[in-house]
Amino acid sequence: MKTIKFVLPFFVFLFLSCLCLSTWANSSIDNNNIVITDYHQIFIPCYDKNGNLLIAIRMYFIGATPYYLVVNPYTFATESAPAANFKNRNISSKGNTTPGYYTWDQIKNTPYMKVLFRYTSGPYPMNNYGVTHAEHAVNGEFLTVDMCPSAKPFEEQFFKALVAIANRNHQPVPLAISLTGIWMIEHPKEFNWLTQQEKANTLQITWTNHTFSHLYYPDLPINQNFLLTTESNITHEILDTEKMLLEKHQLPSVFFRFPGLVSNKKLVLMMRHFGLIPIASNAWLAKGQQAKIGSIILVHGNSNEPQGIKDFMPMLQYSNLNLLPLSKAF
């Protein structure tokens, strides 16, 4: 009996200790994030429950559940949902002559596929390959903000100025943020601030893939630098940034910006394989290029290129400045 009296309190103590440790461990986990596995490229046309044609460009798993990242080929918008939500045949089609099959002619003639092929075709200049301005007449400009790896804080006053405009006009300011995975890792508070502005409906963010690491060596020539380095793992550079965004409940877009705006034919054709549209610029402000109607403006929001921000800030005072979502360029 003495042994039982001694052992019982010991096991009670052990149980309570384990319970406390478990509670502490669970409290340290960010339950807002998800864990994605087996994230990979696919190309599967499919239909949603309303019979709308979509194209799945990524597949992954959350637990045992397969998910698709799909693009609407008419609006360029992306969506993430369980693969079971989509069908490979159009269940809303009627009649024996339309059994629900899509055709390649139908797919290739969608706006997304036309743009994808147009901006992954030759010629292939090494510098500034991709979309530089709107394809049609527009009443505005397109702001793209690069977030390359940086040891500095982000351009806080610049972003707050955009939020102030949104609050004044009672509508979100559209911009495309060219994001690198390393910047996300090294600046979690700043990244969270940006996502909070999106939730608050002050910034309408299009997340543009800018690779994971944005490798750059100042002692190498341009034709051996950035993604052209022999060590670059292009699949990793593309997919890991998208995966990180999805794990933070953010949607990757179908747009891609080459680091340094440097590329070659092989890289461009890989963009086609991954379903990504290269975005360049005809108004890299820090290089002295002037923005005009329809321009894709390029500035850096990571404090690595303050001249571009300095040149852009006065533009916010112009009554005729009208920023547009990147998808409106097509």
Query: CA-CA distance, 41 to 60, in Å (whole number)?
Result: 9
- Taking residue 216's Cβ as centre, other Cβ atoms within 10 Å add up to 16
Q: Assess whether the previous peptide bond of 125 is cis (omega < 30° from 0).
A: no
- Map residue 318 onto helix, strand or coil: coil
Average pLDDT, the chain: 90
The answer to whether the beta carbons of residues 124 and 264 sit under 8 Å apart is yes
pLDDT in tens, 1-16: 444 444 444 444 444 4
Which amino acid is located at 280 in the chain?
Answer: A
pLDDT in tens, 287-323: 999 999 999 999 999 999 999 999 999 999 887 899 9
Query: CA-CA distance, 104 to 88, in Å (whole number)?
Result: 14
User: Judging by beta carbons within 10 Å of its beta carbon (0-12, 13-18, 19+), is residue 75 exposed, middle or buried?
Assistant: exposed
Pairing type for strands 65-71 and 53-62 reads antiparallel
Query: CA-CA distance, 130 to 277, in Å (whole number)?
Result: 7
Q: Per residue of the chain (330 residues), give pLDDT as tens.
A: 444 444 444 444 444 444 333 333 332 334 478 999 999 999 999 999 999 999 999 999 999 999 999 999 999 999 999 999 999 887 665 554 556 778 999 999 999 999 999 999 999 999 999 999 999 999 999 999 999 999 999 999 999 999 999 999 999 999 999 999 999 999 999 999 999 999 999 999 999 999 999 999 999 999 999 999 999 999 999 999 999 999 999 999 999 999 999 999 999 999 999 999 999 999 999 999 999 999 999 999 999 999 999 999 999 988 789 999 999 999
Q: Closest Cα partner for 292 from 142, 163, 154?
A: 142
Which amino acid is located at 38 in the chain?
Answer: D
- Cα torsion at 40, 41, 42, 48 (round to 10°)? 80
Can you read off the two tokens belonging to residue 280? 């360049």
Please state the pTM of the whole predicted model. Answer: 0.89
Can you read off the two tokens belonging to residue 228? 């052209």
Alpha helices of the chain — where are they, by DSSP H? Answer: 2-27, 104-108, 111-118, 156-169, 181-186, 188-199, 234-247, 265-274, 306-312
Query: CA-CA distance, 280 to 16, in Å (whole number)?
Result: 59
